[in-house]
Each structure stands twice: as structure tokens, then as C-alpha cells.
Structure 1
């Protein structure tokens, strides 16, 4: 049987209002009476409901976090940064994984709204107009502080923490070009997302800066998943005019790409060069020296949560702060051109 405050009141011989004042530490209660209530709580082994407390205080001390793929180490690092600030602020966190689905993202936002959370950090799934307007309306109707992380929402005026994806991709392609590559394929992320669009822009910008024609046949549209990296790399290897290098737009597709290369007996960089966006620490453990564009993921998560805290302190005077962090190109040899 669940213990309620009525059971405590009966055992202590006091009113429900008195028990409520003791539990919420509000209003005057004689010390002797307080001790009776505390003793009754101990004897009945009563644990106050967090939901009930939130209804009384109209504050849950819970924030929501929405990410596209919790299995991706990139988002794991973002969450780690968020969690450190959440713990330090004595808050709680509800985490939602949308599995790269726009429908699941909208559902998650509605769910968090029903949980009466204080604020949300969201890494948007899509930047396309149709979905974007629905997502924007949903976020604005929540009526709570919102911070975007790693992806933007068109026409929004929310605070956010982003990475310069154009710059990162540009530098990665430039490294390949400096090695002598001119036939460079790119496996993009889900092209309805802003990071994927920006990385493709960086790719094209680097080619144009070196007077290299953009070959649409070398642009392969992935979805950030390992399987798409695997299948698209197989398509690349079957091309008659095969490229000499591949740029993968995220870590999971890099895994799929490497798997396909290994199955075909393709050596990196002797037979195919690679530069990847996002680090995969498991590759370091396996001794695979893959060049990649590193993003300060944990710092991004930490900064996003700090921005949310600022807006939670004074919701009436919340201000928009949009921060763009810089990626770093780390060359480990996989960009080399073996003629």
C-alpha cells in the first residue's frame, strides 16, 4: 500500500496542512509538532513524490534534452558535457532519442511539455521548410527557455551552440587537395539537416578555390548512419572513374566506409585516402590512423547547458546568445596520396 500524507497526518495526530508545511519547509510549525511529523515519516518509510512536489512548488527542476542518435559517440560526448552542468546545478534531466526521425522529434517535444520541464536543449533533426515550421511552432508554443545544440532551426530566435561545419569540411578537403587529390568523393549526412548542408558547402568551396570542377557523380547522399556509409562506399568502389579519396561527413558513416573498404581489400591510404568529420576513438584503439575534423563536443554540451541555466534564472529577461565553436583538423596520414 502506498503511503500518503494522510497516513502521516493520522499517525502524528496533526492536520494535512501541517504535514504539507513540514514536507515543503513552508509556514510555521511548532518544533515539537515538527518532530512528531518527521518521526511518523520515518516510521512509515514515506518518500515524497517528485511530481507531487513539483505541482506544489510549480517547479520541477527538470530539463529536457533531445538528440537524434544516442548510439552515436558524438552525441554521447554532448550529453556528457550537459550532464556535468546539470549535476552541478542539482537539476535532473530527461533524455529523448529521436533516431533521426522528425516525427519522433515532435513527439518528444510534446512529451517533455507534458512533464512540466523547466527548459530544453534540442539538437534538431531537420532544417527543411515543411518540418522546420512545425518544429518552430512546437518549440515556441512550449513557452520555456530553448537552447539549440549542434543544429539550427530556420527563422528561430533561440540561443544555441554550433560548430563551423563549412570551415571544418573546407579544411578537410583542402588537406586532400594539398596531397595531390583532385577526384574526391563526399558522403554527406542527411541533407535536410543544416550540418550536412554546410559540410557539403565546405566541400564545394574547397574544390572551387582550387579550380577543380565539381563532379556531381562524386557526391553521395547519406543519412549519418553506418549502413549508408557502407553501401555508398561500395557504390564508390564500383565506379569506372573511381575517386582517389573519400570525405565522410560523420563518424558513423566513417565506420561503414572503412568496413566496405576492408571487405574489398582496399588499403588506407595506399588504395584510397580518407578524411572524416568527427573523431571515433575506437579507431585509435584499433591503431587506425584516420585523419579527421575534431569538434569540441563535450565543451559544446557544457556551454549549451550553461546558456540554458542563464535563461532559467530569469525567464522574463532571457536573451539570445548564439555561439559558434571552431573545429580542428587532425592529420594522421590517411589523407596521403599514394601514386
Structure 2
């Protein structure tokens, strides 16, 4: 039979420490023999507490694994100092650079960012907004999962109830008259179309987002309008913003050499990158030219410079933050929505 020896930790002079995950300022006050108010001041107004007392309280707080509850503090002050950023894709450089800019500006003003990536899910977007409402966020920047005219999420009415400023980025929600920063998508399309009209290639393929997307509609209409009278042959593939649903349609098209485009026009950077990747897999990358609206991720890092209409995402972030903080600081003075349009730059 196996022999087992059981040793009580007390026999070794050890004290088993119990985790204090739920410690409160009351526990700290009792141990430090001070009032609850004194403990609270250490974490909120430390300059009002003597250094000796402050160090004692912080030492006990560390021993008890106490962490100040920012949420509870926010409820007491009716302000959490949280700025919510809800975007459909943090992978897309269009949003990642913008978020970095907003985060820097918010931090300099004493706010913190709470970031949500909805991955184009309406349910995830709804949950993200509800979470920010529950945290009493001071303001929300939102790039919605959809930009068709039928999209009218119910949570927008709650934003008015909670009086939380909500500023749109890039994608508009129609009929709501919300503040936001946008791109002039018809102008983008026209400028792209003018560039393509000057090129000798005749067969063009436009790869866009959802067919009912107002961004896709406007950019496509701008391109087609600028191509009138140039005898270009244009095909269009619709799908989603992430290029998931366009992939098979593009592979099918490229399987027929007679239909190969001479130019592929991606209506956002992710779509362009997806088309480039497929052409590379099929060993026809060098036989097709590309034009992109917004930067395809990481292309320049690999020496690939794609002509396109590119936007200053730092400027977009600055404009979005400027509008949001105006609404936070002077909400009663803003009777009409604040809307900015940021121009793109043709890069060849």
C-alpha cells in the first residue's frame, strides 16, 4: 500500500493567504484604523491625505488585492471618463490609424478609450452600444456595420434618452441627422473614374461592398459617370466590406480568360487586397493592374504601391474627436448636427 504523509501548513509556520478579490474600502479602513472617506481620498484626491497615512493605506490595499472600481466611481459622478469607439474592423488600417489618433487626443484630455470590434455583426454592435450605455460613457464614436438606407438600429433612441453624444465615422445612418465625419463618395468615384478614363486598358472590373450600400452605390455611380463616352467595358461584383463573399465570384470570373479584366478597382482597401491575393494565387498578378480606394493593408511594406484615392486617417480621427468633445463639453449649444467631409488624394 502506498504510504502518504500529510503535512499541515501550520506545522511549517506558514499562513495560507486567501485571495481578497472582493475587498472594499471598508476593509482597508478597518485595517488602517481610518475612515472610509480617508481611504476614498487616497484613490481620488491623494494630495489631501498625509503621505504617511497614504503609504499605509496603499500598502494595505496592495496586500488585500484591492482595485478601485472605476465603474462605481463613474456612477457616483455621473461620468465615467470613458469614450467608446465601436468599429466594424480594427484590422482595416482605415480604422486602426483613426483609433490611434482618437485615443491619443482622448488621453490628453483625461479620458480613456473602450474599443469594440463588431466584425460586421449587428448583434455585436448592439451589445457594444448597450455596454457603453451601462458604463455611462461620455461619448461614442461609431462606424456602423451597415450604411444602407434601411438600417435604423433601435439603440439610437436610447442614446437620446441617456444623452450620450454619438458621432458617426465614415458610414452614415440615414434619417437620424447625427453628427459625424464622412467621405464624399460620389467625388471619390468621379476622381477614380477620371483616372481610369485616361488609361489605355478597356476591360475594368469594379469589386464593391454590399449592393445596397450607399458608399458602394455612390462610388460606383461616380466611376461610371466619369467613364461615359470612353468605351470601357465594366463588370461589377458586389459582396461585403471584408471580401468574404466576393472571393468565389472573382475566382469564377478569372477562370474564364476571355473575361479577365485589365484593371481591378477595389472600392475599399480590404477588397483590393483580397483581389490582389487571389490574382497572386492564380499566377496572374502581373497581368492585371489594380486601383484602390483607400490603402490596401501592408502593401507598401512589401514594396507594392497601388494607385488609388487615399485618405488622411489621422485627419479623420482629429475631426471625429473634435466633434465629439464639442458635443460632450457644450451639448446644449449644439442644436444641429456637426458634419465634416474629409477629401481624398489621388495617388499614382
| TM-score of the aligned structures, taking structure 2 as reference length | 0.83
Output the CA distance in 1 between the equivalents of 2:27 and 2:123: 44
Q: Report how far residue 131 of structure 1 moved.
A: 2.9
Contact 1:226 1:252 in 2 (8 A): yes
- 2:283 paired residue number: 265
Single out whichever of 143-152 and 46-55 deviates more from structure 2. 46-55
Q: How many residues align?
A: 322
Alignment partner of 1:189 is 2:205: no
2 CA distance for matches of 1:10 and 1:36? 17
CA–CA separation in structure 1 for the residues paired with 2:155 and 2:212? 14
Corresponding position of 1:71: 91
- Give the distance between the partners of 1:221 and 1:85, measured in 2 at CA: 37
Cα-to-partner distance string for 1:17-41 (whole Å, 9 max, x where unaligned): 4544565449xx9x7x856752441
Q: For the structure 1 residues 141 and 189, does the alpha-carbon distance in structure 2 shift closer, same or farther, using more than 3 Å as the test?
A: farther
Q: 1:308 to 1:102 in 2, by over 3 A?
A: same
Instruction: Give the CA deviation at 1:102.
Output: 2.0
Deviations 1:117-143 (A, max 9, x none): 111000111133443253543544442
Residue 109 of structure 1: aligned partner: 129
- Structure possessing the higher relative contact order (Cα contacts under 8 Å, 6 or more residues apart): 1
Shifted more, 130-139 versus 171-180: the winner is 130-139
User: Which stretch has the larger CA shift, 17-26 or 316-325?
Assistant: 17-26
Q: How does 1:15-164 map to 2 (within 5 A)?
A: 15-20=35-40, 23-25=43-45, 37-45=53-61, 46-134=66-154, 136-164=156-184
Q: How far has the Cα of 1:211 moved from its partner?
A: 5.7
Query: Could you say what secondary structure the match of 2:298 adopts?
Result: helix
Q: Deviations over 1:292-312 (max 9, x none)?
A: 210111210122012111111
* Structure label with greater radius of gyration: 2
The CA RMSD over aligned residues, in Å, is 2.7
Alignment partner of 1:295 is 2:311: yes
- Given that 2:203 and 2:233 are in contact with CA atoms closer than 8 Å, whether structure 1 keeps it comes out as no
**Structure 1 residue 60 displacement after superposition:** 0.6
Structure 2 residue matching 1:132: 3-state secondary structure: coil
Q: Which runs of 5+ in 1 are unaligned?
A: 332-339
1:220 equivalent in structure 2? 237
Gaps of 5+ in 2: 1-19
CA distance in 2, matches of 1:23, 1:247: 55
